[in-house]
Amino acid sequence: MQFSVIIPTLDRCALLANTLASVCTQIFPSDQYEVIVVDNGYSDGTRQMIEAMNRDGGKEIRYVFEPNCGLHHARHAGARSAQGEFLVYIDDDCVAEPN
Tens of pLDDT, residues 18-74: 999 999 999 989 999 999 999 998 778 899 999 999 999 889 999 999 999 999 999
What local confidence, expressed as pLDDT, does residue 75 receive?
Answer: 98
**H or E element at residue 73:** helix 71-81
Q: What angle do CA 36, 39, 40 make, to 5 degrees?
A: 135
Q: Where are the domains of the chain?
A: 9-89
What local confidence, expressed as pLDDT, does residue 64 receive?
Answer: 97
What local confidence, expressed as pLDDT, does residue 58 receive?
Answer: 86
What local confidence, expressed as pLDDT, does residue 57 receive?
Answer: 85
Q: What b/e sequence results for 24-50 when a residue is b if at least 16 CB atoms lie within 10 Å of its CB, and e otherwise?
A: bebeeeeeebbbbbbbbbbebebeebb
pLDDT in tens, 74-88: 999 999 999 999 999
What local confidence, expressed as pLDDT, does residue 99 receive?
Answer: 86
- Number of other residues whose CB lies within 10 A of the CB of residue 94: 12
What local confidence, expressed as pLDDT, does residue 68 receive?
Answer: 94
**C-alpha distances in Å from residue 74, one per residue of 29, 39, 55, 57, 77:** 26, 7, 25, 26, 5
